[in-house]
Amino acid sequence: MAHPTAVSDSTFESEVLKSSTPVLVDFWATWCGPCRMVAPVVEEIARDYDGKLKVVKLDVDANGDTASTYGVMSIPTLLLFKDGQEVQRIVGFRQKERLLKDIQPHLVAN
């Protein structure tokens, strides 16, 4: 079963930007209540879309350079990357159905 994996400033390019699969990046921090609320939803999406979508988490406190590069001003922020480009930005907590409505158009159908 797929789970979100951690990425850092040093692994972001190889794990996200150079990925052949679309990547959902969860920008979060341990102290963030809404981040803890969205975490189980992100886990479910990682399991449900294994093989179609790569799901990663980036701790903004430990990896401020990447968060700054992408203008992440509040968390949780979910960015969807496809072919190395940001194609969707979701800020704040969303229910699973709403998240899927935003990201599904960018996924390759199997």
**Could you list the active site residues?**
32, 35
Helix (H) or strand (E) holding 96: helix 96-103
**Rounded to whole angstroms, how far apart are CA atoms 32 and 75?**
7
**Rounded to whole angstroms, how far apart are CA atoms 10 and 92?**
25
Tell me if the bond preceding 76 is cis, omega within 30° of 0. yes
The DSSP bridge pattern shows strands 54-59 and 85-91 to be unpaired
